[in-house]
Structure 1
């Protein structure tokens, strides 16, 4: 029973570290591992056992965010009409992109390439699911695909931090309006 308890504790520590890292990335100008450990309620040794380097931790935050974003597409389609599902998915993209900016700024180029390769496929697949549902019900233009939208939402990388709250979701609403099929 004791080993299971430790594994559950270890899993809990790992989850708290990732959650704390996500909060620090979103709210701090500088990403400090000691601040993440403190926020997670663990010692630095525990943090380093789970994530030997800062890049390992940031990469895991990014990977989890990608997984959540991808999983959201079919869940949103199950609850909403395609255009509404796409709009709500774009809201999540804005949150994801804000964290991604912090992660990419902190991660070395080689790690960045690995992360980009990990996310573009699954995100493109999730976006295709949303677009195809909208095309099927006649609310989304038939001449757009996931790559078109990914290129358009790439504009988020150019939004300055001090204008993020005012511009990110606004730009995504403009993209959404451009995707709508016109009579």
Structure 2
């Protein structure tokens, strides 16, 4: 049986819904970075939509914040992919990827702090990190194949450790224990020591 063609009106409604959702998320990112406790009404106003429209897409504030976190993760992944992970020595490529991700997070410091406090299961957090992990894995595998990185340790372990060290650097910066530059230098040094082949 041949499926029914999608009517133009339905296609237009879906396109409008996608644009509306994108506008809400972009407005939420801007507003919540300036005012992390801004209301849903304020987000709706900033997006140029009604409060009901926001709730139609995101039935709760927590769901809105989770979607904002997903959107920022997408931006970070795009920045990492644009950092040319397949060129140059693997160590340099890996650090470029992490710097690109940190730059995106650094544009929204208050929002990133707020989103870091969102409740999330280990599974949800792992799923969110899948595209990040895949990029890191690609570079680490290349480094192991070239003899630049230690191939005695499982690639998956090195990816997990890399993500954990990046999170630790962010946590120490947010706590005021390190400046951004100090955290970056310590992260780079720690990763080089962790990954290098003896």
TM-score by length of 1: 0.75
In the superposition, relative to structure 1, how do residues 141 and 39 fare at CA in structure 2: closer, same or farther (>3 Å)? farther
Equivalents in 2 of 1:119, 1:141: separation in Å?
A: 27
Equivalents in 2 of 1:67, 1:160: separation in Å?
A: 22
| Structure 1: stretches of 5+ with no match in the other structure | none
More moved, 13-22 vs 76-85: 76-85
Match of 1:176 in 2: 188
Q: Structure 1 residue 159 and structure 2 residue 173: aligned? A: yes
Answer 1 or 2: higher relative contact order, Cα 8 Å, separation at least 6: 1
Which SS does the other structure have where 2:49 is aligned? coil
Which SS does the other structure have where 1:18 is aligned? helix
Match of 1:82 in 2: 90
Q: Structure 1 residue 33 and structure 2 residue 45: aligned? A: no
Match of 1:129 in 2: 138
Equivalents in 2 of 1:137, 1:22: separation in Å?
A: 40
Q: Structure 1 residue 118 and structure 2 residue 127: aligned? A: yes
> Would the aligned equivalents of 2:24 and 2:43 in 1 still touch at CA under 8 Å?
yes
- Bigger radius of gyration among the two: 2
Aligned residues: 177
Equivalents in 2 of 1:122, 1:146: separation in Å?
A: 12
In the superposition, relative to structure 1, how do residues 82 and 26 fare at CA in structure 2: closer, same or farther (>3 Å)? farther
Equivalents in 2 of 1:31, 1:169: separation in Å?
A: 30
| Structure 2: stretches of 5+ with no match in the other structure | 1-7
> Would the aligned equivalents of 2:80 and 2:100 in 1 still touch at CA under 8 Å?
no
Match of 2:63 in 1: 56
RMSD: 3.2
> Would the aligned equivalents of 1:24 and 1:36 in 2 still touch at CA under 8 Å?
yes
